[in-house]
Chains A and B, each alone.
Chain A
């Protein structure tokens, strides 16, 4: 009888302790600890960042381009008519008429307008490589020219000249752009002994940091600045600080493929003035509508509506509630 009792008891390795019954092991698939473990061991789906092969950043002068395009449309007062005629694949002529008022900057912040009626003739020559020459001449004696020439993949030259009939208002600037794998540098030489240089480096796939320095010979002024740009598929945020006392922050959010919202903050340390602006940019198939509200008490809107193929109708409105200055303009743009 004793032997059967021994044989019936199942053999166990654990020493039997009085009063302690080990709990049954939980099933593996449903425990929370198992879920965490599986998350840690699952393959990482984020892209591995190769810090030696970062994407090239934008040019330093185009750091704030997206938000500036949304927030600063070319508002005008009066009638504007632009006609662009392509003579060739590479050559275009443009004629432009403007009749309206132009703001004259005054000391005491009162709106002073000057009536202006001009005809502008321009020619654009674009080569298939990307080089271009653009010239404009106006009936009030102003001329402007821009030349862009790519020497090779690494170096590119740009020149810009503005001539005016008043003495001392003409300037010229030569830019030499250097384009590295993940950095952009530029050296600027201008008249009035202006020397400047800037540099922008990609630090991560979305962050670029850089700085600039300039020296103005005639007025013995110099300055340096620091810039940062964080760009994603859905947003662009930039920050620029300069020793001339300007702090500029911009932010643009692409809410959808048709709608962007932008905000801009400018702070002048010397005059202790700050200015913020908020705007929207609707790019629809038939039109492009940009609106903005300012802390200076200005409300502005700019509408470009496609009436026909290549024919756009333009409306511009700006209301300055503080100075009681109302500017409305309309126009037509024919050609691209």
Chain B
């Protein structure tokens, strides 16, 4: 028997005709299994990469928005409050003088 060092000989190679009827359907079933496994692995890696890049995009958008937009909104709000306060004051002054007249 030609035994390789520690490796068992392939049964299909040694006795091809004896195993053909039993192993062929089993081989075909294991082909389907490996196909299914690789498809699942690929889907998992694609979904993981998608999640990571979505996370990266969310981080970039959130931090850039925090730096660029939040101070702008706060300052515009303050400016608007100041303008409202001033028009109110002006209205009170002119309203008061009109009422006094």
- Say whether A285 faces chain B, with CB atoms less than 8 Å apart: yes
Contact A303 B64 (CB under 8 A): no
Contact B72 A291 (CB under 8 A): yes
Count the A residues whose beta carbon is within 8 Å of the partner chain — how many? 18
Contact A321 B60 (CB under 8 A): yes
A315 to B82, CA, bound (A): 22
| Given A299-B67, A317-B67, CB of A289 within 8 Å of CB of B60 | no
- Say whether B63 faces chain A, with CB atoms less than 8 Å apart: yes
| Given A299-B64, A301-B67, A321-B60, CB of A284 within 8 Å of CB of B75 | yes
Which residues from chain A contact B72 at a C-beta distance below 8 Å? 280, 282, 289, 291
Pick from B68, B78, B82: contact of A293, CB below 8 A.
B68
Contact B75 A293 (CB under 8 A): no
Which residues from chain A contact B79 at a C-beta distance below 8 Å? 284-286
Which residues from chain B contact A305 at a C-beta distance below 8 Å? 75
Residue of B nearest to A317 (CB): B67
How many CB-defined contacts (below 8 Å) exist between A and B? Answer: 44
Contact A319 B82 (CB under 8 A): no
Contact B67 A300 (CB under 8 A): yes
- Say whether B71 faces chain A, with CB atoms less than 8 Å apart: yes
Contact B75 A291 (CB under 8 A): no
Which residues from chain B contact A289 at a C-beta distance below 8 Å? 71-72, 75
Which residues from chain A contact B75 at a C-beta distance below 8 Å? 282, 284, 286-287, 289, 303, 305
B87 vs chain A, min Cβ distance (A): 14
Which residues from chain B contact A300 at a C-beta distance below 8 Å? 67
B25 vs chain A, min Cβ distance (A): 55
Contact A319 B64 (CB under 8 A): yes
| Given A282-B72, A321-B60, CB of A291 within 8 Å of CB of B78 | no
**Which of A284, A300, A301, A305 has the most C-beta atoms of chain B within 10 angstroms of its own C-beta?**
A301
Pick from B60, B68, B82: contact of A291, CB below 8 A.
B68
A324 to B16, CA, bound (A): 61
Per the 8 Å Cβ criterion, residues 7-27 of B in contact with A are none
B47 vs chain A, min Cβ distance (A): 24
Which residues from chain B contact A284 at a C-beta distance below 8 Å? 75-76, 78-79
A300 to B64, CA, bound (A): 8
Which residues from chain A contact B78 at a C-beta distance below 8 Å? 284, 286-287
Contact B68 A301 (CB under 8 A): yes
Which residues from chain A contact B63 at a C-beta distance below 8 Å? 299, 319, 321
Contact B67 A303 (CB under 8 A): no
Q: What 0/1 readout, one digit per residue, does chain A (238-282) give for beta carbons within 8 Å of chain B?
A: 000000000000000000000000000000000000000000101
A280 to B73, CA, bound (A): 13
A284 to B82, CA, bound (A): 11
A288 to B72, CA, bound (A): 10
Which residues from chain A contact B76 at a C-beta distance below 8 Å? 282, 284
B51 vs chain A, min Cβ distance (A): 19
| Given A285-B82, A286-B78, A286-B82, CB of A293 within 8 Å of CB of B71 | no
A285 to B82, CA, bound (A): 9
Which residues from chain A contact B67 at a C-beta distance below 8 Å? 291, 299-301, 317, 319
A157 to B64, CA, bound (A): 45
A301 to B60, CA, bound (A): 15
Q: What 0/1 readout, one digit per residue, does chain A (92-109) give for beta carbons within 8 Å of chain B?
A: 000000000000000000
Q: What 0/1 readout, one digit per residue, does chain B (52-84) give for beta carbons within 8 Å of chain A?
A: 000000001001100110011001101100100
A260 vs chain B, min Cβ distance (A): 14
Q: 21 A-B contacts, Cβ less than 8 Å apart?
A: A280-B72, A284-B78, A285-B79, A285-B82, A286-B78, A287-B78, A289-B71, A289-B72, A289-B75, A291-B71, A291-B72, A299-B63, A299-B64, A299-B68, A301-B71, A303-B75, A315-B71, A317-B67, A319-B63, A321-B60, A321-B64
Q: Sorted from nearest, which 3 A-B pairs have the closest CB atoms?
A: A299-B64, A291-B68, A301-B67
Known: A291-B68, A321-B64. 5 other contacts (CB 8 A): A285-B82, A289-B72, A291-B72, A293-B64, A303-B71
